[in-house]
Amino acid sequence: MDVYIKKWLIKANNNLKVALHELEMDAHQIVTEAICFHAQQSAENFFKAFLIFHETEFGKTHNLEYLLELCAKIDKDFRKLETGNLSYYAVEIRYPDDFYIPTREEADQSIQLAEAIKKFVLTKLKINEHKLS
């Protein structure tokens, strides 16, 4: 595996690990906006790793729908994936001007979406998850 792509995949996987770790906290300690943010970052980086592998430019963006569309131009199977509200959690949720705290259900859904994207991209790249350690 190319070292640069591996770094993107490790970063993506680590973001998902952070989200999952936060989800394990006691109910009154969970920071749902952090879970959603890291789930979004994970999905974003998995998409970008796929695009880099296929030598596709994507510019500076956090827009998962745009990245997903670029991936789908390479492999139509990407059209099966959903990004839900993950793009919203990239920027908007981080600033107090648009103060919003996602529910536990939204956090759970964010993790599920990121995990599905991870599994899908790793399968498409024919990479075993254990190689990301």
Cα dist from 116 to 2, 25, 121, whole Å: 23, 22, 9
pLDDT tens per residue across all 133 residues of the chain: 799 999 999 999 999 999 999 999 998 999 999 999 999 999 999 999 999 999 999 999 999 999 999 999 999 999 999 999 999 898 766 666 667 789 999 999 999 999 999 999 999 999 998 877 7
* 5 Cα distance to chain centroid: 15
Supply the pLDDT for residue 71. Answer: 98
DSSP helix, strand, coil percent of the chain (3-state; round to 5): 70, 0, 30
Query: Looking at the domain covering 3-108, what would its CATH class be?
Result: mainly alpha
So where are the chain's domains? 3-108
